[in-house]
Amino acid sequence: MKKNYYLLLLLLLCSVSPIAAQKRFIRIYDQQGQLIAKGDFTATTDTSIILQGHKTQTEVPLRDIGTIKTKRTFGHAIAIAATIGVVSGAILGLATGQASEDVWGGLGYESSPGDDIATGALSGLAIGATVGTIISVSQKRKTIIINGNMTDWQLKRKVLDNWR
């Protein structure tokens, strides 16, 4: 029983640490609306934005920037939450399932471990997608229109520098 508490504490610590390490993610589109760069916002200069990718740092010149969108896309939180829901639901379904006839009494229904996993995964999918949708709706995304204009950039650059 004590092992279960330690495991639960370990899972809790692993799930909380990424929340504290959130970064400021932005997507940069050109004037035709095509995505040209995305990554964690690092800094701005008079003529560019500097982004940190997975392993590289990218500098996007002002003349190429049409719009800047903060945060990730709407579906990103839904996909992450649904994935977490499926995995947790499948594990929970396996852990709580019983492969015997007495589950449904005299109805004669037998549930196998595969049925229990599938039921848990589908339930987790629905719950996770719902939670992800709520998270996506509650996020405050901003769209900053630059269109390669230096005067617009000088005014709106402060928004990015002060963004948290």
Torsion angle of alpha carbons 30, 136, 80, 66, nearest 10°? 0
Query: What is residue 41's predicted lDDT score, i.e. its pLDDT?
Result: 87
Q: Tell me the CATH class for 24-71+141-164.
A: mainly beta
Residue at 51: amino acid letter: L
Mean pLDDT score across all residues of the chain = 79
CA distance readout (Å), 87 to 5, 51, 69, 104: 20, 32, 31, 26
Q: What pTM value is reported for the model?
A: 0.66
Tens digits of residue pLDDT in 104-135 = 555 556 677 788 888 888 988 999 999 988 98
Tens digits of residue pLDDT in 139-153 = 888 888 888 888 888
CA-to-CA distance for 79 and 75, rounded, in angstroms? 6
- The domain ranges of the chain are 24-71+141-164, 73-139
